[in-house]
């Protein structure tokens, strides 16, 4: 079980130099003008906002308690909403990596489509889902992606497995924070 302060530290350090999805990789994806890239930019902004919030609040529990007291949990720009969206981003990357690792022949398009359908599509409008589906055709092949990232199958697999293992308890912890305050997760 992750302690509150440890979860907040993980969010502070999520884009560290040893992260499987480095800042450089995130910026490469974000600059692509792909719907997923634009979504990544939004998550990066939310991560930055949570880092700023960590200077005021000692724990994620404190962040949620403040927004619950102010009735701003689902308000755009609130720390609780930012945390929820970052959690979705963490889960999307986890699902993408799991799909990517499930088959050596898996095209990034297939892995990304499946991961998106599992994690984000249920919460997006038809317009967003359609734009994302159209954008999937612009994704590189597995080999092209590994080349751009300067990774081999083995090195990428190690980093992806490490991320999957590390992200699951963080995702579960964040979910428990919301559920313990009777905040549904279907938004």
Q: What is the DSSP string of 54-92?
A: TTT-SSHHHHHHHHHHTT-TTSTT-HHHHHHHHHHHHHH
CA dist 187 and 175 (Å) reads: 12
Pairwise CA distance, residues 36 & 129, whole Å = 11
Non-local (6+) Cβ contacts of 58 within 8 A are: 4, 5, 8
Domain locations in the chain as residue ranges:
4-179
How many CA atoms are closer than 13 Å to the CA of 128, on its beta-carbon side?
11
- Answer yes or no: are the C-beta atoms of 175 and 185 closer than 8 Å: yes
Residue 77 CA, distance from chain mean position: 17
pTM for the full model?
0.76
pLDDT (tens digit, 0 to 9) for every residue of the chain, 187 residues total?
Answer: 444 444 444 444 544 545 544 444 555 555 555 555 556 666 767 777 788 888 899 999 999 999 999 999 999 889 999 999 889 989 998 999 999 888 776 678 888 899 999 999 998 889 989 988 888 888 888 888 888 778 888 988 898 999 999 999 999 999 999 999 999 888 7
Confirm or reject CATH 1.10.3720.10 for domain 4-179, answering yes or no: no
- List Cβ neighbours of 91 (8 Å cut-off, separation of 6 or more): 119, 167, 171
């Amino acid at each position: 079980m992750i302690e509150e302060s440890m979860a907040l530290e993980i969010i502070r350090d999520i884009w560290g130099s040893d992260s499987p999805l480095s800042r450089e990789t995130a910026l490469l994806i974000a600059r692509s003008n792909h719907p997923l890239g634009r979504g990544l930019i939004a998550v990066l902004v939310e991560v930055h906002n949570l880092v700023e919030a960590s200077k005021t609040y000692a724990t994620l529990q404190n962040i949620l308690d403040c927004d619950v007291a102010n009735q701003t949990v689902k308000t755009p720009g609130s720390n609780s909403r930012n945390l929820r969206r970052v959690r979705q981003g963490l889960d999307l990357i986890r699902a993408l990596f799991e799909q990517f690792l499930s088959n050596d022949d898996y095209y990034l398009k297939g892995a990304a489509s499946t991961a998106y359908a599992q994690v984000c599509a249920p919460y997006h409008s038809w317009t967003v889902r359609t734009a994302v589906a159209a954008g999937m055709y612009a994704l590189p092949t597995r080999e092209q992606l590994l080349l751009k990232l300067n990774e081999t199958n083995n090195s990428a697999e190690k980093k992806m497995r490490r991320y999957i293992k590390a992200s699951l308890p963080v995702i579960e912890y964040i979910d428990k924070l919301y559920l313990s305050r009777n905040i549904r997760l279907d938004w």
